[in-house]
Structure 1
């Protein structure tokens, strides 16, 4: 799997591939990450990559030509001149969720465009971008943080990256399980600042522990993200015991 990133700040990515659990995906070669700076493909002594917007207004807009040249170099460098999906991180993009992460983690990679300033010349987007992704209803100063978020989420799903191969199955939002939020977690000591670990987790009774975790996930999801309960119910992922827990929590009929 190969990801190429077009960014004016390639130095932001170096610590990411050298630290933390997800570094294993890069060290093993499961994910190949190449960084490309559009400034290297700009003309003139100043290697200018932006200019003022037509029609006036604040801020600057990234020029189409340096991006197009940089993208052409990336595509020529990929195997068999594979153009690959071209992803732009943008507020108008589709929200990044678990299903989208699973889609990208099972693919061959992509070319990621990290915009800056007020945006990118629309003509470049119309000509080359195949997908647009958003992290949510807010604006970042550039696409690098969004690109890192996608890369991190994809890397941790690669085989051998996590210590426990099954740990990602218990992640929040995983539709392969039920799409609910994860339950609370506890570790030593058993009592901390007057707060004790729930006795169910200390019982050693596996069925009781699993029921407690399931109940917690249901109650937490109903309280924090009720739309996920509705989606799980519509998909037939809730059983009679689950519905009894929701009724007790006052969340029946969500």
Structure 2
């Protein structure tokens, strides 16, 4: 899979791409990451990529010409998505990550700055706007890295035990269950006895109950969606 990151700060990605599972996945050829700086496509002698907004207002807006030129300079694979990371986008979910990992060959991610990008970029170049939460950051590189990491770990060969991917939080609409490891007792705090029982059926039931209760307490919004989904599954078909 190919990832194209359109960024004013390519150096931002140096450490993450050379560390951990992402570095191993890139070394194995599971994915390719290409960093493109829109300043290289500026026609201004000072390589400006932003300008004042029409109608007035604070801040600067990223110009359309360098962004269009940067994206149009890239090879276009058949199943390509052009993503603009912005607080105004759809909330990022695990379903987005799975969809892109399975249905796309190329993700082009635009990293915004200042007050954002010229709306013509959104209307005529971008195919999907994505937000990682209801907050504002100083740059689009951070959410771009979130998407890159989230998709890359789902690609075959990145994670050693692929089955573990389907046990993560959000995979079935619920949060993950609690995890414990050795020692069985630490500072007087003990591991739940059921996990030491060796009874796989009871362990599975305990974990499922923990998922449901944890989701109900911590994410009532997800819990309500899960309840609705479970009820719909039980409804008889006409």
**Contact 2:79/2:105 (<8 A) preserved:** no
1:158 aligns with 2:152: no
Partner of 1:25: 25
Indicate the SS of the match to 2:80: coil
User: How far off its partner does 1:83 sit?
Assistant: 8.6
Three-state SS of the structure 2 residue aligned to 1:129 is coil
TM-score (norm. length: structure 1): 0.85
CA pair 102-239 structure 1, distance change in 2 beyond 3 A: closer
Aligned counterparts of 1:183 and 1:194: Cα–Cα separation in 2: 21
Three-state SS of the structure 2 residue aligned to 1:112 is strand
Q: Distance in 2 between matches of 1:226 and 1:158?
A: 30
Does 2:188 correspond to 1:191? no
Q: Give the RMSD, CA atoms, in angstroms.
A: 2.1
Q: Within the alignment, does 1:228 sit opposite 2:222 as a pair? A: yes
Report what 1:117 is aligned to: 114
1:210 pairs with 2:204: yes
For the residues of structure 2 that align with 1:113 and 1:44, how far apart are their CA atoms?
20
Q: Secondary structure, in 3 states, of the residue corresponding to 2:97?
A: helix
How much does 1:237 deviate?
Answer: 7.6
Instruction: Give 5+ residue unaligned stretches, structure 2.
Output: none
Contact 1:61 1:120 (8 Å CA) reproduced? yes
Consecutive unaligned residues of structure 1, counting only runs of 5 or more, are: 241-254
Aligned to 2:58: 58
Map residues 1-254 of structure 1 onto 2, 5 A cutoff. 1-74=1-74, 77-78=75-76, 84-106=80-102, 107-174=104-171, 178-236=172-230
In structure 1, how many angstroms separate the alpha carbons of the residues matched to 2:204 and 2:80? 43
More deviation, 39-48/129-138: 39-48
Distance 1:223 1:93 in 2: 27
- The aligned length equals 233
Q: 4+ residue stretches of structure 1 with deviation over 3 A?
A: 237-240
CA change 1:83–1:235 in 2 (3 A) is closer
